[in-house]
Amino acid sequence: MTDTTPRRRDAERTRAELLAVATEVFAASGYAGARVDDIADRTRTTKRMIYYYFGSKEKLYLAVLEHAYRGIRAAEHDLHPGDLPPLEAVRRLAELTYDHHLSHSDFIRLVSIENIHHGQYISRLGSLREINRDALGILDGVLARGREQGVIRDDVDALDVHLVISSYCFFQVANRHTFGHLFDRDLLDPALRDHHRRIIGDVVAAWLSAAPSVPGPAAS
């Protein structure tokens, strides 16, 4: 957060700046690793204000988490399936999700961090559940259409597809460092981006258009 507007006494702005910087710091260091002093020092205000606006480190983290989750629009929202052929729509969704994840690495890291803490904080943020609902609804509509047309297998539901796509995209960002070290491939190398994006598109398209491996719907 470098200086921008040098106004004095602007509650909204101070609060927003703290939240933005806290997001960066928590994402960079984890909850326990983040330092309240560090967050304060990176703003043009002081530690006192963190407690004035948020009350505690924990509540600040909760605010960061909620803000991050609300700020993320599921890639599904940018998908306008229109009358795209279902398979093309899903491929497009996969590739959108890929780009979406790559450009929101702080969010991805916060999710990792939250899982390290067994989801103990997000579990207090009940209102988030609804956000992803309609995103899944969009995907579900596409799959239904594909099944009707007989071009998409019937033993897979929207959540399964979402899981496969998210896993792949998430991994690229979340495990960049260990994977890069062990295999000498920087997953986020711009030169590989098209290759990696195409892969997840190919994967879901091939998967969904294949015949069910066992007759009849199996999803529970």
**Closest listed residue to residue 84, CA positions, set 94, 72, 92:** 92
**68 lies in the binding site for a second copy (CB under 8 A):** no
Helix runs in 42-130, H state only? 47-53, 57-71, 86-102, 105-116
Binding residue (CB under 8 A) for a second copy from 15, 16, 30, 84: 30
Structure tokens, 194: 């098209």
Lookup result for tokens 């599921």:
74
Return the closest-CA partner of residue 104 out of 71, 61, 77: 71
Of a second copy, DNA, none, which one sits near residue 45, judging by CB under 5 to 8 A according to partner kind? DNA
Asked if residue 115 binds a second copy (CB under 8 A), the reply is: yes
Q: Which of residues 136-165 bind DNA (CB under 7 A)?
A: none
**Binding window for a second copy (CB under 8 A); candidates: 1-9, 37-45, 137-145, 192-200:** 192-200
Q: Is 113 in the site for a second copy (CB under 8 A)?
A: yes
Which residue number, 80 or 195, has a Cβ lying nearer to a second copy? 195
14 part of the interface to DNA, by CB under 7 A: yes
- Sign of the alpha-carbon dihedral angle for 46, 48, 54, 57: positive
DSSP-derived secondary structure for 202-219:
HHHHHHHHSPPSSSS---
9 or 80, CB closer to DNA?
A: 9
Q: Give first-to-last CA distance, the chain, whole Å.
A: 47
Which phi and psi (to 5°) does residue 133 adopt?
Answer: -60, -55
What does the per-residue mask of binding to DNA show for 31-70, with x meaning CB under 7 A? ---xxxx------xxxxxx-xx--xxxx------------
Contact 214, 155 (CB under 8 A): yes
Query: 10 Å Cβ neighbour count for 35?
Result: 13
Least Å from the CB of residue 12 to a second copy = 29
Residue found by looking up tokens 């998967």 in the block: 207
Q: Which residues bind DNA (CB under 7 A)?
A: 7-11, 14, 34-37, 44-49, 51-52, 55-58
Binding site for a second copy (CB under 8 A): 29-33, 109, 111-119, 122-123, 128-129, 131-132, 136, 156, 159-160, 163-164, 166-168, 170-172, 174-185, 187, 191-192, 195, 198-199, 201-203, 205-207, 209-210, 213-214, 218-220
